[in-house]
Structure 1
Amino acid sequence: MKLVQNSTLLIAIFLGSFISFAQNFEGSWTGAVQGLPLVFEISQSDGVYTAKMQSPKQSKTFLPVSEITVDGDQINMSLASFKIKYTGKIEGEKINGTFSQGTFSTPMLLEKKAYVEEKLNRPQEPKPPFPYQVEEVVFKNPKAGEINLAGTLTLPNNIKNPPVAILISGSGPQDRNEELLGHKPFLVIAHHLTQNGVAVLRYDDRGVAQSEGTQKGATSADFATDVEAAISYLKSRNDVDQNKIGLIGHSEGGLIAPIVIANKENDVAFFISLAGPGVRGDKVLLPQLRKSAELAGANPADLDFEMKMMQQLFDKIVASEKLTTAEMNEELKKNLNSIAEEAPTNLKAKYTDSFANTLSSQFSNEWMRYFLRYDPKNNLSKVTCPVLAINGSLDYQVIPEINLDGMKSAFAKAKNKDVTIKELPGLNHLFQNATTGSAIEYETIEETFDPAALELMSSWINQRF
């Protein structure tokens, strides 16, 4: 009898141990980083876990988790393309862990519950029925393995063969509305322009929403071929004016458009740059990093050192075009370890091997290296079609006094006679009326796009076409 009792006890202990380690990670887990919600959808089949992540205020698209491991009550997930990692420990219906992206790291609690979307007030977002034609379209990019790119074409009513604009999004994976933090600026722009007689084609970036392909390994030059495919598609239609196809690029989109124009000068009738770069990428990014840190209240002495460090890294990247990604990664690690020895005492603890590995990986990828080396003046100086270039005075991402001056000199070199360059007072990088221009304000501002800037765009186009 005693033996039976002991056996039962052993079995109970074994089962209890098994149950404690067979944790249920499956389901929807919701958390937040600095107020920005994140959702992880975790599935399991035959003992193999898969997951996907969404930043619902930035995009409706779920991004596949590239690696996930579960060991008892521990879980590790990573999205290699975005340098994102999450490590945590499950405790009932919660996972306590740490979220990191690049050199940034912060605690993040995940709770087992579905994300409930907070209804944000976006008064400019148009609602159907629309006073114009709306057509869902698909076109192929033969230079990217025949991938299908999906978009929306809006056509004015009662206008035969109107001029047409292609909207080109900024950096990172963007859907056709360039949706960010509940704002849909491309939807607002398309709605305004189409009501004012200009057809608009906007599309999901490659690898986003309904478009095929991948962002991995792609550079601005690759994204330019997607725009070329959009032009070819419009030229195949008989309901738009094939001689009045224009490009409207926001941020990186304003860098991509001149690449396309240089290759297809006779196919582009006009160009509108919305906070597009006018100087080489490193000269865009370094002031952006400094301004962002200043807005966040960084210590001036620490900031000076870190900007000196970034300048050295950028100089190395710009001068090392022929290095492979792996070679560039190793060179940056060496540079960072050397620079770390000169760091102020209060910063030395930050410059660990892990910090060097993360930062070198982030800045050695194909997109970043291309961006830092690329000088848009070379192609801007070939743009002879009508140009409208606008920036907000509070834009900290593409600082107007640096970039508009760069554009001005490039267009002068092109001897372009129809160039309008304006710095719009009080607007941020998204062309919202802002207080400081900080990214923290993007979500809290209800306005999506300044109405006066919209009117400037439509009237400028209609005066010419």
Structure 2
Amino acid sequence: MQLTTIFRLVFKLAFFLATVIASAQEISGTWKGELKIQGMELPLAFNISETDGTYTTTMDSPMQNAFGIPTNGTTFKDNELIILQTQSGIEYTATFTDETFKGIFKQGGQEYPLDLIKGEKNVKKDKPQEPKKPYPYVSEEVTFKNATAGNIKFAGTLTLPKDVKNPPVVILITGSGAQNRDQELLGHKTFLVLSDHLTRQGIAVLRYDDRGTAKSEGDFSVATSFDFASDVEAAMTYLQTRNDVVDVNKIGLVGHSEGGLIAPIVAARNKNVAFCVLLAGPGVSGKEILLTQGKKAAELEDYPASDIAISQEISAKIYDICADYKGEASKEKIAALFQELKGKMTSEKAQRELTDTALKGQLKMITSPWMRAFLGYNPQTSLKKVTCPILAVNGEKDFQVLPALNLNAIEKGLKNNSDVTIKQFKDLNHLFQTSETGALSEYAKIEETFAPVALNYVSEWINARF
């Protein structure tokens, strides 16, 4: 009798419990969607599992070659899903309806629509140029400290060619943003491929995790290009103790993007830098870099000419304020200009992106110590002081550091240097991939990590001199 009553009660409550029971079963699995950011579609996946009513989730970002990223919390109640990943400032909130999660992805003050449907779990795939172990050279894990920055410790990899006694050695300097030693971006490990190529060509390579990134200590968020320059000098100091394996008189710097800004800063004040290679390095001021980059990016993403003109005008005013930053007063002026920009932009695409939350995030980013230093510096200051041999290369389709503008400026800054080589590669983008348009949206889709023509040019230039 009691058993029958229980079953009747279950059936009476079935309507109310069905959603909860089904949800516990149905949301376990892999849920996939695409973020649309700056004209690029970025696939994301959430792998949700449930144990005794508790949910756990990992994230995959296949384009970034990032899989199994742990999250801090997952809740699912009344068809409402919340996933948090506090380390990266990520929050995803969604409603479950018609076998789909319809929601909003938030990060760094930005908000993007993101709908998820159930799919197969992602499988990590290496890019074709990514080297596989065992390597035909020595690969040594190393650490060193920056004595000028509180003795923070850096972790890196020193690769040494076999059967080459005391080879020349290069320090790889990453581009903007917190990067690991491989400069891993959108599924590509640019510096792993570059390091592998150079070492196979008889050149030793030291690459390391940026401060506050991966296995290196420190705080990346408050650092500027000048702080990163001191980190490079710490790497040089370390290499000067390794005369057992490298030629300490042949230490060169190879910098990509911002790294191509940092290398001349270091070389200008350290005459023991033997040579520099600037890969898509800037030759003009930070303000001009950002204005030309923004204009070209907007053109590639088909923004109306009127929106581009308004953005250029207001952005120039914002950059001038940042370069002469005066605290809260400057921040208020910039916030007002952002609102003016929002009010004047006419396209639906611009209005969708210029939310108040997004502008708040932009205000924080544009007033950061790194950005203020970048906008206030002109590379000509250091270029004119560099006397060592320099190779400056760029891709014809680089929209981030426009090739003609910047290569010409670099050549001008080095007019008194007797050994300067300038080279522009046909069809290559900012990452030195063979591309169709050079747009950001192509980076992850291209299988090539670093065009062999550019790799060979760099190694041959170094070997011809050292």
Asked if Structure 1 and Structure 2 have the same fold, meaning a TM-score greater than 0.5 normalized by the shorter chain, the answer is yes
The equivalent residue for 2:368 is 365
- Alpha carbons 1:247, 1:257 under 8 Å: kept: yes
CA distance in 2, matches of 1:274, 1:127: 25
> Any stretches of 5+ residues in structure 1 without a counterpart?
none
Distance apart, 1:165 and its partner CA: 0.5
369-378 or 73-82, larger mean C-alpha shift: 73-82
232, 236, 240: which one pairs with 2:246? Answer: 240
1:273/1:389 contact within 8 Å kept:
yes
Q: State the partner residue of 1:323.
A: 327
Q: Over residues 149-198 of structure 1, what are the superposed CA-to-partner deviations in whole Å (9 max), with x where a residue is unaligned?
A: 22221111111111000111111222222222332221221122112111
Residue type of the partner of 2:259? G
Map of 2:447 onto structure 1: 446
Task: Check if 1:462 corresponds to 2:466.
Answer: no
For 2:410, the aligned partner's letter is: M
**Alpha-carbon distance in structure 2 between the residues aligned to 1:167 and 1:113:** 39
Residues paired across the two proteins, number: 455
Offset of residue 441 of structure 1: 2.1
1:297 is aligned to 2:302: yes
User: Alignment partner for residue 284 of structure 2, among 270, 279, 286?
Assistant: 279
Change (3 A) 1:437 1:243: same
The amino acid across from 2:365 in the alignment is: Q
Question: Could you say what secondary structure the match of 1:192 adopts?
Answer: helix
Alignment of 1:79-98 (within 5 A): 85-90=91-96, 95-98=101-104
- For the Cα contact (< 8 Å) 2:60–2:122, is it kept in 1? no
Q: Give distance in 2, aligned partners of 1:115 and 1:206.
A: 33
Residues 201 and 43 of structure 1, relative CA distance in 2, 3 Å threshold? farther
Deviation at 1:284, TM superposition (A): 0.6
- Alignment of 1:311 onto 2:316: yes
Larger deviation: 157-166 or 377-386?
377-386
TM-score by length of 2: 0.83
8 Å contact 1:33–1:106 — kept in the other structure?
A: yes
Match runs of 1:128-143 below 5 Å: 128-143=133-148
Give the letter aligned to residue 288 of structure 2: K
Structure 1 position 94, deviation (Å): 5.8
Q: Does 1:387 align with 2:390?
A: yes
Q: Trace 1:53-452 onto structure 2 (pairs within 5 A).
A: 55-60=61-66, 73-75=79-81, 85-90=91-96, 95-101=101-107, 105-110=111-116, 115-117=121-123, 119=125, 122-237=127-242, 238-263=244-269, 265-320=270-325, 322-323=326-327, 328-344=330-346, 353-412=356-415, 415-452=416-453
Q: Give the RMSD, CA atoms, in angstroms.
A: 3.8
- The residue type equivalent to 2:138 in the other structure is Q
The answer to whether the Cα contact below 8 Å between 2:128 and 2:447 also exists between their aligned partners in 1 is: yes
Q: Secondary structure at the match of 2:188?
A: coil
Give the C-alpha shift of residue 83 in structure 1.
6.9
CA distance in 2, matches of 1:60, 1:421: 35
CA distance in 1, matches of 2:151, 2:96: 44
8 A contact 1:154–1:194 mirrored in 2: yes
**1:88-125 per-position Cα deviation (integer Å, ceiling 9, x unaligned):** 235698643112456864321346788422536x3322
Greater CA drift, 428-437 or 78-87: 78-87
Amino acid at match of 2:215: Q
Q: How many Å separate the matches in 2 of 1:113 and 1:99?
A: 19
Q: Report sequence identity in percent.
A: 45
Q: Secondary structure at the match of 1:440?
A: helix
Task: Label 1:444 to 1:51 Cα distance change in 2 as closer, same or farther (>3 A).
Answer: closer
What is the rounded CA distance, in whole Å, between the counterparts of 2:363 and 2:191 in structure 1?
A: 33
Aligned-partner Cα distance in 1 for 2:101–2:136? 48
- Contact preservation (8 Å) 1:23, 1:73: no
CA separation of 1:222 and 1:62: change in aligned 2, threshold 3 A: farther
SS at match of 1:123: coil
Give the structure 1 partner of residue 35 of structure 2. Answer: 33
- What code does the residue aligned with 1:388 have? L
Q: Which runs of 5+ in 2 are unaligned?
A: none
2:211 and 2:118 map into 1 onto residues whose CA distance is 31
Give the Cα separation in 2 of the matches to 1:119 and 1:141.
Answer: 36
Shift of the alpha carbon at 1:235?
Answer: 1.2
Query: 1:427 Cα shift?
Result: 1.1
TM-score by length of 1: 0.83
Measured after TM superposition, the shift of residue 272 of structure 1 is 0.2
What is the identity, as a one-letter code, of the residue corresponding to 1:463?
Answer: A
Asked whether the 8 Å contact 2:110–2:358 carries over to 1, the reply is no
For 2:101 and 2:368, the matched residues in 1 are separated by 31
Deviation at 1:362, TM superposition (A): 2.9
Moved more, 160-169 or 206-215: 206-215
Distance in 1 separating the partners of 2:73 and 2:279: 37
SS at structure 2 position matched to 1:38: strand
Distance 2:424 2:79 in 1: 54
Shift of 1:140: 2.3
> Residues 67 and 315 of structure 1: is their aligned pair in 2 closer, same or farther, counting only changes over 3 Å?
farther
